[in-house]
Amino acid sequence: MQRQPDVYEFVHKSFQEYLRRAIKESKQEFLLTHSIDDPWWDETIRLYAAQGDASNLIWAALDQPSVVSLTLAYDCLEEGLSVQPDVRRQLEETLESGLESTDAEIFKLAAEVKLSRRLNRLLRIDDTTEIDTCYITCAEYQLFIDEKRVSGEDCQPDHWQTAKFPAGDAMKPITGVRASDAEEFCEWLTQRSSPLGDTFWRAVPLCLLGKQGSGCLRGLRCRSILYPLTRLAAGVM
């Protein structure tokens, strides 16, 4: 729609393919690098990356680190037509080192990016349900532990010797989770990922996953969980 002379507003993301093409033809990639932290542009940026070299977009995200920009950077890394080796290495090292960092802010950013990427890559199994395909890591579960600790709740696995997972375990599956804490983890995910209450998470019974474990579904609530905390799934209310 035209808001004023020479100023147009696109009201649906399907128009972002047009934006991608226009930006590419006019060689104005800077419009995308400057918008790397704006969620509205994510589809245009991903489409643009898929048609060319995504290195400048990823560098922009590294220069403006946030959950939004770094999550999008990983999408560009995976979907981009090409990425310079040094850019790829820098992005991967940023997440890997961040997940093991002793700096609380650096760790939180890296863990939030990892969790965000997980929730963006659920496998749809029907019209109302999506399911995760890999294990919840110690780093992701640490986000839940830290937030609950602020409110005086202890959701830390009993076998941990300190308030944080052992060094080197950031990417390992979380184990030893109490059933009540696993349910609360699903509730925590529901509250933070669905503020309008239109989706929710629950544990996946082991019988639905064969020998692969269990975890959380975004769907009907479950009052039991098996260990380790693994699969996530999402459903619409």
Residues 181-196: pLDDT tens digits? 988 998 898 888 766 5
Query: Residue 9's pLDDT is what?
Result: 62
Query: Residue 8's pLDDT is what?
Result: 61
With a CB cutoff of 8 Å and minimum separation 6, the contacts of 77 are: 54, 58, 83, 88, 91
The structure's pTM equals 0.75
Two structure tokens written together for 129: 């349900």
Query: Residue 195's pLDDT is what?
Result: 61
Residues of the chain with pLDDT under 70: 1-14, 194-198, 203-237
Query: In Å, what is the CA distance from 232 to each residue of 126, 142, 169, 185, 229?
Result: 15, 16, 20, 11, 9
With a CB cutoff of 8 Å and minimum separation 6, the contacts of 86 are: none
Query: Residue 97's pLDDT is what?
Result: 95
What are the residue ranges spanned by the domains of the chain? 2-99, 125-236
Q: Is 3 exposed, middle or buried (0-12, 13-18, 19+ CB in 10 A)?
A: exposed
With a CB cutoff of 8 Å and minimum separation 6, the contacts of 5 are: none
